[in-house]
Amino acid sequence: MSTLLLTRTEIQRLLNPSALVAPLRAGFVTYSSSDAERALRVRAPIPGQQGTATVLFPGTLPGLQVYTVKVHAKFPQHDPAIRGVICLHNATTGALLAIMDSSYITAIRTGIAGALAADALARADASTVAVIGCGVQGSYQLRALAGLRRLRHVVAYDTRAERAAAFAADLGKELSVAIDPVDHLAHALTTADIVLAATWSTAPFILPGMLRSGAHVTTLGADEPGKAEVSADLIRSSLFVCDDRYLAADMGALHNVGLGADMIGAELGEVLAGTHPGRRSDEEVTIYGGVGLAFQDAVAAWHVYEQARTSSAFRPRTIDFNETGLSHPHQ
C-alpha cells in the first residue's frame, strides 16, 4: 500500500488544534486508567554536537487502531530547535500509513496538554498569565490556554528582551488580549495566576516566595535529564501533577531537582477523570510537570492522516515501499 508523505507546511494546513482538545483530554484519562504497558522513551546525546536524539515508541492508546514511532532531535541553538519525523502505522498489520514532520505536531500536542493541565488545576477565577520563555512552545502554550479560558492580561518574559517584545506584539494581536513584555522574571511571576514555563533552563528559577498564593505553574522545560525550572522546595510545598509517574521521577521535573515519585499528587489523567480532586483550596499552589507522551503523537498524527485522506482540497504525495526498493513519489 502507499505511504503518505506530509511536510510541516502541509500538516499546518491539515491540523486543527481545537479538534485535538477533546481526544487528547480523553486520551489522558484513558492513559492513566489503563493497565496497558506504557511506551518507551529512548534518549541519547549526539556525539560532538549540542543536541540530543530521542525515540518515542510505540505511541498507542486503547481503542486507537494505529501506533506511532517518533524519531526527533533537539538542537537548542537552532531554529526550529526540534526536528524529526513521525511514522504512523496500522496497529493490526504494521503497515506504514504515513511519514510526517514531527515539529509542528509535537508543539501543538504539547501546548494542548499544558493548557489542559492549567485549566484543570488553576483557580476557577484565574485569568492573568505569565509566559516564561517566549519561543515556539511558549506561543503554543498561550494559544491553547486562550482556547480554554478567557484571559484578562498576559505578561511575557524571556532572557532575550527582543523576543519577549515580539511575542507580545504578535500574540497580543492574534489572541486579542493585552500582553506586556517585562524585563524582570520576579515581576512576571508575582503578577500571574497562571505561569506557563517553557525554557531550556538547566537550573531552577521558580522558587518559594516568588508566586502568588494559589498560583498554578505549568513547567514543560524539564522534559529530559539536566533541565529544571521549578525548585525542589517549591514542589515539596505544592500539589505536583505529572503526565506519567515513572517519567516524572526518571527524567522530568522531579528527577532533575533530586526528588522522587513520593512527591507526585496525581497524574493529569486522574485529575481530568475526577478520580483525584486536583486543587484542594484557593490558596494551594499547583504545579504540572509534563515530559510528553507517545500516545499524544498517535492521536495527533491520526487526525492529520484522516484529514489528508478525506480533504477534497488536498492531494497528498505518496510513496510505495516494496521488496525491490522505492518507487517514484507520485501524486
The 10s digit of each residue's pLDDT in 2-20 is 899 999 999 999 999 999 9
Q: What is the rounded (10 degree) CA torsion for 130, 79, 44, 4?
A: 110
Give the residue from 157, 150, 108 showing the smallest Cα distance to 130: 157
Question: Does the pLDDT value for residue 299 go beyond 50?
Answer: yes
pLDDT of residue 29: 97
Percent of the chain exceeding pLDDT 90 equals: 84
pLDDT value of residue 322: 62
Domains and CATH numbers, the chain: 2-106+294-326 (3.30.1780.10), 123-289 (3.40.50.720)
pLDDT-derived band of residue 316, with 50, 70 and 90 as boundaries? Answer: confident
Distance, CA of 254 to chain centre = 17
Q: What is the pLDDT of residue 48?
A: 86
Q: Residue 328: pLDDT above 50? A: no
Average pLDDT of the segment spanning 223-246? 96
Calculate helix-pair angle for 294-310, 17-33, nearest 10 degrees: 140
Q: Could you read off the pLDDT of 50-109 as tens digits, one per residue?
A: 889 999 999 999 999 999 999 999 898 888 888 999 999 999 999 999 999 999 999 999
8 A C-beta contact, residue 263 and residue 236? yes
User: What own/partner pairs with CB < 8 Å and gap ≥ 24 does 77-83 have?
Assistant: 77/50, 80/136, 81/135, 81/136, 82/106, 82/107
Side-chain-side CA neighbours of residue 89 (13 Å): 15
Please give the mean pLDDT across all residues of the chain.
94
Q: How confident is the model at residue 94, as a pLDDT?
A: 95
Judged against a pLDDT cut of 60, whether residue 141 lies above it is answered with: yes
Report how far residue 63's alpha carbon sits from residue 331's, in angstroms, rounded to the nearest whole number: 31
pLDDT top residue among 312 and 322: 312
